[in-house]
Amino acid sequence: MSRSEQKRILLIIGGGIAAYKTLDLIRRLRERNILIRAVMTAAAQQFVTPLSVASLTGEEPFDDLFSLTREAKMGHIELSRAADLVVVAPATADLIAKMAAGLANDLASTLLLATDKKILVAPAMNLRMWLHNATARNIAALRGDGVLFVGPDDGEMACGEYGPGRMSEPLAIVTAIEAALSQDTSLPLPADVWRTPSAGLLAGRRVIVTSGPTHEPIDPVRYIANRSSGKQGHAIAKAALAAGASVTLVTGPVNLPDPPGASCIHVETAREMYRAVEAALPADIFVGAAAVADWRAEESAPEKIKKDPDQRPALTLVENPDILAAVARRGGGRPALVVGFAAETENLIDNAKAKLARKGCDMIIANSVRSEAGTFGGERNKVAVVTAAGVDPWPELTKGEIGERLIVALSKLLPGAAT
């Protein structure tokens, strides 16, 4: 490939600890024969050196808006438009705020304002900064301007906190860059090319999510339950938090950390979950992702039932409260959107359609739980969204991506949502 045919990236490196990942990002891009010009903010140079960046890109990074020598070689307007794509990694809260406000008080922000090319942003900041309403407003404004996002991821921060705000890993950013470069950069990319940024979409909204299984005691040792890791429900709660919502997560027994920022209520049984949901209402959105046991033992033995070779214990089952139907059919204070899940081993869509009508909810997320699907306990899922308007099959995604995509879809269906 000739130099004229190579893709060109203008890489803006912000000032955060995640800047060390940007060195690996540059290396990965160079392996793919992508040319890179780098711009470093003053803060970025406190984390990685210009020499390190120059060694990997093959040319000295730009850093000074008023350097006459640099301006003689390449003006900032030309620099902002000579690339096929502008990438900001890491994108700090400060850089994102400058972009949203249209500020141009240093080289990086000036280039971002002057460019006529698509911009891809990889946010990196403390979780409280990411979840702050100001950041949510800025992200929403940039999304409206057509800015593309990859991440952030959940994880442990340099400050010791855990939650959303970690810059995506270099290979994930490379994937997003390649997706952007493969498209006409004057057009917006499909929402499912990478994780859909949703910050601000649910600002001021209340969301209730149920997650995990319920355990219905037979005796102090044994119980009835459905299989569920809680990963999908927790992912939806985290996506709603990232979108700016006030989230109540009602969770059965799971081996997962509570999403930071959510009001978490831990329950064991279906009746406890039902009471917790009723107490958490009203809400704008209810998502019943929990695998609630349909039945419970009519009587729970106070002591462990001993095995008796001459007598098998009889177990009489009674039906548990139907939480999804109860929320969907509330006479007053019904959430604007009620979403249920249908975990099926056969006739997936037909059963989901029947459940939609039977429960009276607005949306059913249908997913196969046949053993070969690997849904239980896995990191990925393939679902179809069933509404009165029809069926929308989604591609296989991570459970985190499904959570984010669902929250974006629901935000557009709420009364008063921007179209």
112 marked among binding-site residues: no
Catalytic residue at 159? yes
Do β-strands 285-288 and 295-297 pair in parallel, antiparallel, or remain unpaired? unpaired
> Angle at CA 177, nearest 5°, toward 1 and 39?
90
236 marked among binding-site residues: no
355 marked among binding-site residues: yes
Active-site residue, from 159, 191, 221, 357: 159
Amino acid letter, 398: T
323 marked among binding-site residues: yes
322 marked among binding-site residues: yes
Residues 231 and 378: their CA atoms lie apart, in Å, by 8
Task: Please spell the DSSP secondary structure of 306-362, one letter per residue.
Answer: PPBTTBPPP--EEEPP-HHHHHHT-SSS--SEEEEEEEESS-HHHHHHHHHHHHT-S
341 marked among binding-site residues: yes
Token pair in block for residue 276? 């917790």
Residue 79 has a CB neighbour count (10 Å cut-off) of: 21
Amino acid letter, 130: W
DSSP 257: P
Residue partners of 399: CB distance under 8 A and separation at least 6: 231, 232, 235, 378, 379, 380, 381
> Angle at CA 216, nearest 5°, toward 212 and 222?
110
353 marked among binding-site residues: no
Q: Specify binding-site residues for CTP.
A: 294, 304, 321-324, 341, 355, 359
Annotated binding residues: 294, 304, 321-324, 341, 355, 359
- Would you please indicate which residues are annotated as catalytic (active-site) residues? 159
